[in-house]
Structure 1
Amino acid sequence: MENTEKKRGITVGIFIFIGIAIFLLGVFTLGGQKKTFVKTFELSVVFDDIQGLKSGNNVWFSGVKIGTIKKIQFYGTSQVQVILNIDESAHQYIHKDAKASISSDGLIGNKIVVIDGGSLKYPFVEDGDELQVNKTLSTDDIMKTLQTNNKNLVEITGDFKVLARSLVEGKGTVGALLTDDQIAHNFKAIVANLNATTQSANNMAMELNKFSNKLNNSEGFVSKVLEDTVMFRKLESSVEEFQSMAKSASAATENLNKATAQLNNSNNAIGVLLNDEEAAQQLKSVMGNLETSTQKLDENMKALQSNFLFRGYFKKKAKEEKSK
């Protein structure tokens, strides 16, 4: 009976010892993970948005876990201050110009704080220092951008689908070109005409080039006119004579216009004769009277020659004219 109780006591003692060992091992393991038994120092960061950070989340530096988030509290009016517990072993790598940002442990992992080391010209951080915030895009911002881009891509794909369907159905100018044979033939004819026009333009350019070469030829007429001073002066003199003739012709034309204007003017005799019918009738009457008077004068002269009183005078006059 006593042996049985001893065995039971030993068994219970063994189990108690094993339980205590497991408990101590768990405490040290958890303490190691939470850096409970490691010397640390504190840093703080003030964020506008902590994006779901929690106390106990990890702090990373160059891909290595160097601490945990100790405390999160409001700061100012709308900001949040995050207190970091950093291992003393990382103290020699973090400078005062180091910056902190919020990231994720993988695409869908827990939120973490990532610290960059800063530059060597600055001293190392001290316990209680505040780090600046790195303004680079966070993972959430990147995911939002990707979602926006995906939405835009879906809209573009839908528009392209509608466009492709319209082209297949022959809608619009491009669709008609793709589906209507007649329009396609007409388009080919237009392209052919454009090619012919281009060829004609090229030929014209070649002809103009040949003509230009002829003008530049030292034996050509134009070159002689440009280079021979004697011929140029003769040509200049001819041009001046043509200008003088043109001025004379212009003056003659002006005088003729003035004379024509005088003829059309009823204030002078010729104008009256040309434009006044009554004056023309009177002039005709006067001319008729003159003609009648001339005939009668001629008859009187003949009668006078037959008169014996003047017959000698007229005979003497006829002899003098004959002798002359």
Structure 2
Amino acid sequence: MSASDNKRAVTVGIFVILGIAILVVGILVLGGQQKRFTKNIQVTATFDDVAGLKVGNNVWFSGVKIGTVRTLRFIGNSQVEVGMNIEEKSAHFIRKDAKATISSEGFIGNKLVMLVGGTTRFPTVEDGDKLQTEAALSADQIMETLQENNVNLLKVTTDFTTLMNRIKQGKGTVGAILMDSVLADNVRATVANLQRTSNNAAQVSGSLNQYAAKLNNKGSLANELVTDTIIMARLRTSANSLQQASSTAVSMANNLEQTSEKVSRKIDNPNSPLGVLISDEATARNLKGTLRNLESSTQKLDENMEALQHNFLLRGFFKKRAKEEAKEQEKNRTRPATQTAVQQNVDTTGVQK
């Protein structure tokens, strides 16, 4: 065999070995994707519509591929039973109350079976279990829903266009506000008034904060009025006293009013003594005559007393009485001087001497 033949044989052998290696790697990769070389359990689920699901499509749980579709077969009344290979290591996370639904890889991707739900109250799935199913929206149903949404959106857009045209024409309250310049000026004035009111409210709030800060200053009158219970008790007592004084004044005013009414009635009554004294002229003249007679009688009495004092029979009596009155006056003059001296002595020494 020549060297060229040997070289050709080696090249062919290398290509054959590479081909075999690629074949083995492909088998391993495809087997790994199809879960052919892992330990699986088989579960089933029955659907009314599989929406184009094929054998070999993936089975997902919580977004993770855990198996593949093994078989598809019709049962009953146009229902399809889907057999699935589930990894045994992933089956520990799937509960018997989990549900299977048909989904897709993206909006137009391959169909797949998705397992959802499941609670810890139920045990994990086992080989041969049958899972419950949940109907999913098909692409046609989704497109129908989108079509309805498009029709509704078109109606909303049309209504909005009509509303904007009415607003531009100045119709309605909003159109009047936007198109009427006088109303717009009134709105601006109202907004300005609201702004001023807000500023005034802010100033009032600041004043209240300052007053509250003064209330917290110990020793101030406001703080004492708020916190000192003694002052509050005295203020209550003073208020009660003022209330009592006010009640007394009201009572006195009522009594005076009643007395005034009684006096007025007596004055108006010509038969009463007060009415006679005030309104009867004859009685007034008699009273004046009586007073004149009393005055003249008093003068005559003084004259008679003076005549008695000069009478020799009573002269001794009047002289004796005059001496006694002089002595009494002398005692009254000396008594204040003695009391003043005693008081001065007590103030100087602290003991009466």
Q: How does the TM-score come out when normalised to structure 2?
A: 0.46
TM (normalized to structure 1)?
Answer: 0.50
